[in-house]
Structure 1
């Protein structure tokens, strides 16, 4: 029979698991390792204006998705005002409205921005050139000469913008540039000149982030489209590049703040930087999920805590498969060690080992007495279950009386599994002797301890909980191991006499 479908299935599971995990890491910046820190900026915008005893409409630009920052949360404080978030072609805007207001008014907008230096840039659509640029005399002649001079010293749109900005600097400033600056502000003037030369450009507003700064204002920058991306220029110095601490607040060339029904409007910003675990920083992004970004984070916290433990069971299963198939360790029950390892997670390793040995030892003594009663299997196992419950209750009470609070956690052991373990070991004792009981019991404990160490590893817990594609990878590995038919490591002892001869 051809094994091709089997290997195709394994390969499909492996590729799907790795692909989903990598997609999740790249798209949502979920870290590979636990404890990784991410920088988060909390920014508060304060809008002040004076209402004129009538209806008021306030429209403010909001930061949108960009390569270096990602929006985590946002909320407002505006008592008595209606609020709407508008999606426009130029970006997002917040709109406050009220039927009647008078006197000094204050509106607050607070957002948390996650620093994502390695994020992929958003999709860019080529902008439309402005064709309605009209100059009055003598500014038209000065503008044409400025464009011609900078054009001759450039090779593309970005270098043309750089040369044009430098012509307005103190070192190169001539009569034409001084004439134009008497009529126009530098930022809008540069945009007009660039658009007239056929180079798409726009003026944008950015916030320079500095920790613990208050009452800051936006600075003006010029963006130039070079055919593939937007290049950012400082209109004062001509320096090209996006500073790491610059958050573009309004990037469509529109007004940052518009107030109807009010005067003396202005917006100031306060900011604070802090670090927090990367998993927590991106958790709020996981509420709106697609099939590719599916995660447990959308569930309530109680269910999340439950699934964090459940998702560790395949790790324990992989350990059992490795030790039984490749090493050849015998266990009492196939996956009983995994359940014991789960109990160890709740009780801690030392307390769990002591509790397990005490319960099984006492249970074997009582089960030995029950064998003389010649009970049927179902009744005998039921009696053992009741005995295990009584033993656990007795140990818990004694631990509490002696001040050993760790002993109370023995109740986390699966009682049915303990009862069946005692029953199997008792039968094994009668049929194979105490040596086989020690081999299988010791193998079960060794497997449970190794599974416990694997399941409590911080990196393993982080990966299994945050990357569900890992479950497909574990399935593929278990399928491959299930296809192994060679010798087990412990079986190689049979060949020792051959090597001695």
Structure 2
């Protein structure tokens, strides 16, 4: 007897691979498990204004990149007459504009799109240079050392030290803190104190995302390196910001905006939020990350629409296998109900059922006449195919003439499959009688309706199209059903007399 271990091992591997691929797609691409969800995209526009001096001008703006919680999916620049380029170096990304000659007021627009993405892939860049210890004036240095010593006593690592140090800076009763903050801003004081304590840190520009906000200025905060990532601190409150709508725009630790050949420069930010479908968000993220996407979502939209229907066919096959193997329902043909259900999806259920009954009923009448002619099989089938085409044509024209536009969709029925169905039902009628035809025909129609209901379910459509790995799970279930050798549920009625006898 052949061992079943390899078979069950293969089924287990199929299920494991299908689930793993689905989970991977959910985590890496952010595809939701349920339909109807949306993803948020922030459009952020930087408006740069300055007065040109009538000579060549060069503008450099710190540009953001993908970070924790946000994936950069697009950026554009609107600057008539200017050349634009994006430069990356150790200090970060910058957008640079240049022009040979400019005079008077100038306005440049730089727009970015960020996808709110908990699975954003971020490569943390550690500090590249050693911390330079700053110098203070005599009394200021004494105050700085006192604040550092106090924070050291109340901390255990760099992050807790930074938190305590910034708390001390915000202590209104501390004379040492007042001495420092009278000489410089809190963000500058925090940077110098952290550097004096030899802790890697930098000043970053942060934007508070608020839908519909206009002419917002950037807010400076401190970032501290904890050995694995940069941790953000707000020097004005002495806390680690946990607000989800904080976007770090400028990580250069140098300058937000540099203008050569102009004066009175300034930059303001405007932003707006929009909701997009998960599919659009996924496509945007794939393009932005440059991910190797071998799924059907990399195809043109027309082909994707075709595959959206094709991916539903395995669900129909699973229903047919379950109904035939477990329930014991009889159908005319093995997978004819699946193709009929696909036609129902195009025609809608009521129109599809009426069209199916009309075509098959009329076809059986014509086929009964052809059986009297004693034709060869090939000729008879060909004649039935032509008859089905004529029936569909006549019904379509009649439906159009009487104003039933739904009848035009009857052309979606698979003509060859219907022809073979008519042929098989006709032979069955001659051999088994009308009752068996009604059983198999009714079983086929019932199966097609059940498959239609599954195919039109929004959850089924979403899962089959967005998680290709689930097809492997469906295959594994079909293989398991194929090993069932017990009684069908419809066969249990044979034991009813035994139950009545007890």
TM range (shorter): over 0.9
Contact 1:61 1:250 in 2 (8 A): yes
Cα offset, 1:199, TM superposition:
2.1
Change (3 A) 1:308 1:490: same
1:77 aligns with 2:81: no
Structure 1, unaligned runs of 5 or more: none
Question: In 1, Cα distance between the equivalents of 2:445 and 2:366?
Answer: 21
In structure 2, the residue corresponding to 1:213 is in which secondary structure? coil
Question: In 1, Cα distance between the equivalents of 2:47 and 2:167?
Answer: 35
Change (3 A) 1:43 1:107: same
Aligned to 2:173: 172
1:430 aligns with 2:430: yes
Cα offset, 1:167, TM superposition:
2.6
Contact 1:44 1:111 in 2 (8 A): yes
Shifted more, 350-359 versus 218-227: the winner is 218-227
1:6 aligns with 2:2: no
Aligned to 2:186: 186
Question: In 2, Cα distance between the equivalents of 1:6 and 1:79?
Answer: 67
Cα offset, 1:121, TM superposition:
6.9
Contact 1:40 1:115 in 2 (8 A): yes
Change (3 A) 1:90 1:473: farther
Change (3 A) 1:4 1:261: farther
Question: In 1, Cα distance between the equivalents of 2:20 and 2:332?
Answer: 37
Aligned to 1:305: 305
Shifted more, 222-231 versus 380-389: the winner is 222-231
Q: Deviations over 1:437-458 (max 9, x none)?
A: 1111111111111111111110
Change (3 A) 1:467 1:91: farther
Question: In 2, Cα distance between the equivalents of 1:121 and 1:406?
Answer: 49
Cα offset, 1:129, TM superposition:
6.0
Cα offset, 1:123, TM superposition:
4.3
Q: Deviations over 1:276-307 (max 9, x none)?
A: 3333333322346645x533222211111111
Contact 1:14 1:476 in 2 (8 A): yes
1:367 aligns with 2:367: yes
Cα offset, 1:159, TM superposition:
2.5
In structure 1, the residue corresponding to 2:215 is in which secondary structure? strand
Q: Deviations over 1:112-148 (max 9, x none)?
A: 22223x4367343543564432315324333323322
Cα offset, 1:193, TM superposition:
1.2
Cα offset, 1:150, TM superposition:
2.4
Matches of residues 185-264 of structure 1 in structure 2 within 5 Å?
185-264=185-264
The CA RMSD over aligned residues, in Å, is: 2.0
Q: Deviations over 1:468-501 (max 9, x none)?
A: 1111111111111112222211122222222222
Aligned to 1:347: 347
Contact 1:286 1:298 in 2 (8 A): no
TM-score w.r.t. the length of structure 1 is 0.94
Aligned to 2:328: 328
In structure 1, the residue corresponding to 2:46 is in which secondary structure? strand
Cα offset, 1:101, TM superposition:
2.5
Cα offset, 1:170, TM superposition:
5.3
Contact 2:50 2:107 in 1 (8 A): yes
Change (3 A) 1:473 1:141: same
Q: Deviations over 1:70-121 (max 9, x none)?
A: 22332221222222233434433322233333322221122222223x4367
Q: Deviations over 1:355-397 (max 9, x none)?
A: 0000000010011111111111111111111111111111111
Aligned to 1:470: 470
